[in-house]
Structure 1
Amino acid sequence: MATFFQSIFAAIFYLLKYSGRIVGVIILLMVIALIAGKTYQNWDDDPDRGAIALENGEFGESFTTPVYLDQGWTEAESLWFYNTTQGSALMPYDLFMSLEQENSNKLLRDNHNIDKYRYLPQKETFLNPDGLPVGLVKDTYQGNDYIGYTCAACHTNQVNFTKDGITSAIRIDGGPAMADMVGFLTAIEKSMRATLADEAKKTRYVETVLARNNDFKKEAKVIESTEQWLKTISLYNTVNHSHIDYGYGRLDAFGRIYNRVLQHMINKQQLANTMEMVTAPGTNGERRRVLTRDQIDLVLEGVNENIIVDKQFGLVLDRLASTEPGYPGLNQRDLLRVRNSIFNEPNAPVSYPFLWDIGQADYTQWNGVANNAGVGPLGRNTGEVIGVFGILDWTSHEPNGFELSTLITDQKNKNEVVNFKSSIDVTNLRRLEAQLKRLQSPVWPQEILGEIDQVKAERGQLVYAQYCQSCHEVVDRNNADRIIIANMMDINLVGTDKAAAINGVMATGKSGNFQHTVQSITGVGDVFISEDAPVLQILTSATKGVIATPDPDKFFIRRWLDRLYVLGSSFFENKMPETVKKGNYVADTTSNPYSSLLAYKGRALNGIWATAPYLHNGSVPTLYDLLLPKKLDTDPAEGEYRPDEFVVGSREFDANRVGFKSKDYDGSAFITTRVGDMNTGHEYGAGKTAQNNGEVLPALSEKERWDLIEYLKTL
């Protein structure tokens, strides 16, 4: 450490000596800020990492203070990961902190209510003075405080294990959360409605908000802001309503990101034209238009021409349902028809992926959409914050000189260009990605979950080599130079639920100002973005625009120095080369530039024991069940099959079959009959899915299944 500071001060001396005084002072201040930031980052070193015990939580679960396994992070690094903002702004902080539950005077953020949605309660620590749960944090944008999500909300897990009447808990950094985000957002909406409707509840709420003496000084402003943010959250929930129940531990993140970027890119004329073409069944078998042109003009009165913000889109939704003279007064069914013409139903929920080795992986998402080279991780993470409530203060204006975002999104020939100002903290996203490179997979804790039978595990290793290793390479978690290679398998070959892969490619929407701009597709070439375009193209351009737009909350020099750091470190510190995907899939072509995305990845399985439920959509509860076949109508009743119905939500661990408790409690019912929920495919161990070479291996015997399970515990 002494050598580090000596080098820093030597560099400062030469910079001050040989640069201009003003430039030197600025650099000195920047270096001091860097040192202070690094020091500040390590101040929160609570030995429990903020974790607390809980009595009589959801599903009757009680547990002692959670322990942590050695995953390569210190206490301070875990807490920094939990509490580092990324620019998410779900709602004003004072409102969230004061909001009561819908049918109770207890706060919405009460630890037992937080546990109900399977977020992880925390105590107060230095970086978390209000004791927010893992993954929720106070974020500040343009002088106002908001409650927002961090990466940890979806990527921190807990495993409970009961022995001799005592339940121990293990926190897993980077593990897939059991969170029910949809339930939580629905609860917030209901609580806000109940608060505005109940005078006693509203009085308590307003008094609590004002007592915080922060962003709100008057009762009228509290009520106005609550009403406006209720519309925003209600709009989000309505746009993203799905016939598929996500339940615990799953989210259609791509679908929600797609819808959010569509909402902000569609322009007024495109929205009007889309609404005009919405039809419903009429008389005599003919179709009727749901909206007249006069109704559309009234609904869109006062809406911005080029960028439609949350507040205006919420107003459009209200006007569509309004029964006032001239307005359409649409029923729920016709409202959904209008919604479906603009957005895509997010009906393909997937399990939250685990994050260890993400910095060493060539491709990370389930469908391998983005290479991890260069600024790839930055684009991936920026898209994520777009989906989890980054404030998108996008506007349009006439071109007025050089703007990097205009150049890289190919808007240079447009009469108006979009400015991608937002709350998204790209610098923190880069820092988080860098820290994740130090995260290691968790090792099976034999002292808690029971000893591994080494004789069985050695036999299971041979089974793994024959049945699994061609797709799931074995890696050394301690090797700093390890590379995690995604093995992509065509959805028709692996046979698992196709919805997520198909939606990622086939979802389309209005491209707004990106219409007729050019985008380069790796391995294919340049393509024009059409008015009706794949949302993947629209999202790609939008994330480029956000990354190239300096942070509005930082002064000029700091903004550009941060931007240089982000782009420079992405290119020079990220050693991942841009490689062609490995695997058995249909390659991209000029006629089908996204064919390779109709595939799912297999990756190294180190730490797989801590990531249930299994398959990309969480449709199989345990590793043992994953080795069984899906029961078909033609199969005999006797025999072992994957469960077609089970329950999700418990953290109670089944150390035998390796997964979570999946019956006999009131969690989310998982029924595997609909597209999006199906538990088919990946039946290598059942002798039904062909290996990469086309060979179908014999079904494993029961003994071989148990041997393989024992080996999987060792990874």
Structure 2
Amino acid sequence: MSTKPLSKLLSALKKNRRYIAYGMLAVVASMFISLAAGKIYQNWDDDPDRGAIAIDNGAFGESYQTPVYLEQGWKPEQSLWFYNTTQGSALLPYDLFIALEQKDSDALFRSALNMDEYRYLPQKPTFFNPDGLPVGMVKDTYQGKDYMGFTCAACHTGQVNYKGRAIRIDGGPAMADMVTFLHDLDAAMQAALQPGAKQQRFVEAVLALENNYDSKQQVLDSLAEWQKKVQLYNIVNHSRTEYGYARLDAFGRIYNRVLQHVLNKEQARELLAMATNPAGGRILTIEQVDKVLEGVDETIIRDGEFSQIITRLMSTEDGYPGLNLRQLLTVRNALFNEPNAPVSYPFLWDIAQSDYVQWNGIANNADVGPLGRNTGEVIGVFGILDWEATDTWFSISGWLTGQVGFLEAIKDKLASLVSGQDGNKTIVDFKSSINLVNLQRLESHLKSLKSPQWPEDIFGKIDRDKAARGELIYAERCQSCHEIIDRNDWNRVVIGKMDSIDVVGTDPTMAVNSVSYTGRSGHFKHTYQPTGVGDTITQGTAPVAEILTVVTKGVVATPDPDKWLVRRWLDWMYTLGMSFFDNEIKPSIKQGNYQADTTANPYQSLLSYKARSLNGIWATAPYLHNGSVPTLYDLLLPKKRADDPEEGAYRPDEFMVGSREYDPVKMGFRYEGFDGFSFKTFRAGDLNSGHEYAAARTERADGKQLKPLTEQQRWDLIEFLKTL
């Protein structure tokens, strides 16, 4: 093999080393200038109302003045930056969302009153939000095109109303009903596809923006394409469990998005052929399966191809099976898992200071863990996943995801150079719209967020004598799991105490699903994956938790495709470095009363729920992880059992959700007297049992026997909780 080309290259590098050095310095300098400019840019949107607006006669007849904010450590510009910082989410093209009308009206789908119906928080136009989208909806850009996507704030900004006044809670749980929002969005898009005046208005409005579209046909083709994607998402995630307001099965939906984007054609063929009806017979013949999968990519099935598969399954033309909705959902169950365990949106204060996060502690918050966690979240909320199998000898993402070994790749490459063969392997490239730089910035931003304190000027003064008595009750009954922290301590660490689902007794569905849900692993079959108790070989059918961990590492290891080559890698290294060095949480074992992971069950510790500090708990109703108890006072009551007397005080088994009107006595939202979502606590996923320590019906970890709280003790404890 001639060495002349290599000699020429070395000679050229040596001759121009000064200019190369200057160029590299310029690149590094431009990166840091850009980062510094980003810090300055964060302060440009400083509307004193933080974009909030008053609402007159909104959902459930609620009217309120322009919302106020409590002292939570953020200035107006810091709140607005959090609301409007993109993370790589792309629900649909931005121009289409801006122009889209409601299904049965010429009013815009994004209008303030319509967004209020779904309990998203309406906003006025500000610098970062020129079109006045609600909190957490923004313009995001990927590969030169604009999209409407979600930010963290869409699910993690709350509001409480009281007698015409409103308080915005940064980092608080949203009241949002995302499921109805997405179904109505689909219906609105279908309506705009029908010829007529509505379609004409829509097309004219899109073209008037003079942005991503140049012709009517281009607009309608794009609308049809994205309507199919929204419809696909709704079908894949259809659940017999109604979510209602203030909760979402986020993990179930993230799991399904992952399975959708790793499944290969061979595995899809096998699963479709094995789908059976209630009588035990096949739903599809082998011939129908092959026709449905005709032309589909062999290695990874893409979004558009999955939409095409759904369309073919429902079609009666050209020999397609013509499935009805029931049959289609049965086929769905063969490919995916039903997301039937909705949980409350977690509050975000102290999240950057926590050792483990998520309701079941699935995410270790140490080192670069937060970057991986946030990447998984964007996978769930519509990040564009342009994953594809490519032929290459090595990639960092391929190495970290177990697709190729480092030394093995070097050895194979050297052998291929000698033999003259390419020596490449098929490795998944994790190209996506996910913005790792912003995810790291957002996590860092949350460090300064503090819990909201009880607003005595609005809700009334705290009775300090009652609170003092309640403090003693809290110390005896609650503090062993829910430790008290100083919200102003920058160096605070929040320890999540894990309680086994068998111990705490609350609805087990979410925790069980996180461990038991499985799916086909696609290209990651027979790769080695680490767990807390050793490496495992991923099987063809594997726990989705395992597959999610794999693909999250792959995305984190993939630089931003929207940046030019050198900047792409410099930003990537900076992001990983900052994620590691800016995170003061170190790896540690979980604490609490739970079953540890074993080699036989490496995910067993996830069969538990996390207790965390209760500062700001007053602003986070409804309660328990699944939102099945409306107020803190009701949480102190027992769940009514069949043999309990009728005249006792019990948790409500049915109540309304959706109102933001606050009850400062019981500490929760109004749950009677309006026509909201009727929450019934009778089925798995919705159960309101467990965590009955106040009623002395849940066994304590220390074995201590205590009597049920008296009525006076309940009110004393409630009063103390207001002080946290």
Give me the TM-score of the superposition, normalised by structure 2.
0.94
Pair 279,465 (structure 1): closer, same or farther in 2 beyond 3 Å: same
Pick from 533, 542, 560: which aligns with 1:533? 542
Q: Do residues 258 (structure 1) and 255 (structure 2) align?
A: yes
- Asked whether the equivalents of residues 177 and 249 of structure 1 are also in contact (C-alpha less than 8 Å), the reply is yes
Q: Do residues 401 (structure 1) and 425 (structure 2) align?
A: no
- Asked whether the equivalents of residues 361 and 484 of structure 1 are also in contact (C-alpha less than 8 Å), the reply is yes
Matched residue, 1:237: 234
- How far has the Cα of 1:20 moved from its partner? 2.3
Q: Distance in 1 between matches of 2:505 and 2:300?
A: 41
Matched residue, 2:63: 62
Q: Distance in 2 between matches of 1:64 and 1:679?
A: 34
Q: Do residues 687 (structure 1) and 696 (structure 2) align?
A: yes
Q: Do residues 342 (structure 1) and 335 (structure 2) align?
A: yes
- How far has the Cα of 1:325 moved from its partner? 3.1
Matched residue, 2:403: 411
Q: Distance in 1 between matches of 2:673 and 2:711?
A: 25
Matched residue, 2:678: 669
Matched residue, 2:29: 28
- How far has the Cα of 1:281 moved from its partner? 4.0
Q: Do residues 451 (structure 1) and 461 (structure 2) align?
A: yes
Q: Do residues 107 (structure 1) and 108 (structure 2) align?
A: yes
Q: Distance in 2 between matches of 1:353 and 1:364?
A: 9
Q: 1:550-589 residue pairs with structure 2 within 5 A?
A: 550-589=559-598
- Asked whether the equivalents of residues 689 and 696 of structure 1 are also in contact (C-alpha less than 8 Å), the reply is no
- Asked whether the equivalents of residues 357 and 484 of structure 1 are also in contact (C-alpha less than 8 Å), the reply is yes
Matched residue, 2:193: 196
Q: Distance in 2 between matches of 1:464 and 1:80?
A: 37
SS in 1 for 2:597: coil
Pick from 501, 520, 527: which aligns with 2:530? 520
SS in 1 for 2:535: strand
SS in 1 for 2:357: coil
* 2:403 partner amino acid: Q
- Asked whether the equivalents of residues 262 and 522 of structure 2 are also in contact (C-alpha less than 8 Å), the reply is yes
- How far has the Cα of 1:415 moved from its partner? 4.1
Deviations 1:311-350 (A, max 9, x none): 0001001111111132111222221111001100000000
Matched residue, 2:364: 371
* 1:644 partner amino acid: D
- How far has the Cα of 1:288 moved from its partner? 1.5
Q: Distance in 2 between matches of 1:438 and 1:704?
A: 35
Q: Do residues 219 (structure 1) and 216 (structure 2) align?
A: yes
Pick from 689, 698, 713: which aligns with 2:707? 698
Q: 1:204-353 residue pairs with structure 2 within 5 A?
A: 204-282=201-279, 287-353=280-346
- Asked whether the equivalents of residues 177 and 246 of structure 2 are also in contact (C-alpha less than 8 Å), the reply is yes
Pick from 489, 503, 506: which aligns with 1:496? 506
Q: Distance in 1 between matches of 2:549 and 2:651?
A: 38
Deviations 1:607-649 (A, max 9, x none): 0000000000000000000000000111000011000000000
Give me the TM-score of the superposition, normalised by structure 1.
0.95
SS in 2 for 1:533: strand
Q: Distance in 2 between matches of 1:621 and 1:594?
A: 31
Deviations 1:250-269 (A, max 9, x none): 00000000000000101000
Q: Do residues 81 (structure 1) and 91 (structure 2) align?
A: no
- Asked whether the equivalents of residues 511 and 529 of structure 1 are also in contact (C-alpha less than 8 Å), the reply is yes
- Asked whether the equivalents of residues 73 and 448 of structure 2 are also in contact (C-alpha less than 8 Å), the reply is yes
- Asked whether the equivalents of residues 382 and 426 of structure 1 are also in contact (C-alpha less than 8 Å), the reply is yes
Q: Distance in 2 between matches of 1:319 and 1:516?
A: 32
- Asked whether the equivalents of residues 684 and 696 of structure 1 are also in contact (C-alpha less than 8 Å), the reply is no
Matched residue, 2:93: 92
* 1:620 partner amino acid: V
* 2:568 partner amino acid: R
Q: Do residues 548 (structure 1) and 557 (structure 2) align?
A: yes
Q: Distance in 2 between matches of 1:696 and 1:536?
A: 37
Matched residue, 1:487: 497
Number of aligned positions between the proteins: 690
- Give me the identity figure in percent: 61
- How far has the Cα of 1:89 moved from its partner? 0.1
- Asked whether the equivalents of residues 393 and 425 of structure 2 are also in contact (C-alpha less than 8 Å), the reply is no
Q: Distance in 1 between matches of 2:72 and 2:278?
A: 58
Deviations 1:219-245 (A, max 9, x none): 001110111100000000000000011
- Which consecutive unaligned segments of at least 5 residues does structure 1 have? 1-15
Q: Distance in 1 between matches of 2:278 and 2:183?
A: 31
* 1:470 partner amino acid: S
* 1:424 partner amino acid: I
Deviations 1:186-245 (A, max 9, x none): 110010111112511101100101111100110001110111100000000000000011
Matched residue, 2:437: 427
SS in 1 for 2:160: strand
- How far has the Cα of 1:712 moved from its partner? 0.1
* 2:519 partner amino acid: G
Q: Distance in 2 between matches of 1:92 and 1:333?
A: 31
- Asked whether the equivalents of residues 156 and 175 of structure 1 are also in contact (C-alpha less than 8 Å), the reply is yes
Q: Do residues 174 (structure 1) and 168 (structure 2) align?
A: no
- Asked whether the equivalents of residues 102 and 194 of structure 1 are also in contact (C-alpha less than 8 Å), the reply is yes
- Asked whether the equivalents of residues 50 and 79 of structure 2 are also in contact (C-alpha less than 8 Å), the reply is yes
Q: Distance in 2 between matches of 1:250 and 1:645?
A: 16
Q: Distance in 2 between matches of 1:305 and 1:317?
A: 17
- How far has the Cα of 1:664 moved from its partner? 1.0
Q: Distance in 2 between matches of 1:73 and 1:370?
A: 26
Superposition misfits of 4+ residues, deviation over 6 angstroms: 16-19
SS in 2 for 1:526: strand
SS in 2 for 1:397: strand
SS in 2 for 1:588: coil
- Asked whether the equivalents of residues 278 and 338 of structure 1 are also in contact (C-alpha less than 8 Å), the reply is yes
- How far has the Cα of 1:25 moved from its partner? 1.9
- Asked whether the equivalents of residues 482 and 612 of structure 2 are also in contact (C-alpha less than 8 Å), the reply is yes
Q: Do residues 40 (structure 1) and 41 (structure 2) align?
A: yes
Pick from 415, 424, 438: which aligns with 2:448? 438
- How far has the Cα of 1:351 moved from its partner? 0.1
- Asked whether the equivalents of residues 88 and 149 of structure 1 are also in contact (C-alpha less than 8 Å), the reply is yes
Q: Distance in 2 between matches of 1:331 and 1:23?
A: 60
Matched residue, 2:6: none
Q: Do residues 647 (structure 1) and 681 (structure 2) align?
A: no
SS in 2 for 1:629: coil
- How far has the Cα of 1:279 moved from its partner? 1.4
SS in 2 for 1:416: strand
* 1:333 partner amino acid: R
- Asked whether the equivalents of residues 394 and 404 of structure 2 are also in contact (C-alpha less than 8 Å), the reply is no
Pair 198,714 (structure 1): closer, same or farther in 2 beyond 3 Å: farther
Q: Distance in 1 between matches of 2:41 and 2:599?
A: 50
Q: Do residues 388 (structure 1) and 381 (structure 2) align?
A: yes
Matched residue, 2:145: 144
- Asked whether the equivalents of residues 504 and 690 of structure 2 are also in contact (C-alpha less than 8 Å), the reply is yes
Q: Distance in 2 between matches of 1:483 and 1:645?
A: 37
Matched residue, 1:12: none
Matched residue, 2:518: 508
Q: Do residues 613 (structure 1) and 622 (structure 2) align?
A: yes
Deviations 1:548-579 (A, max 9, x none): 11111011111111111111112212111110
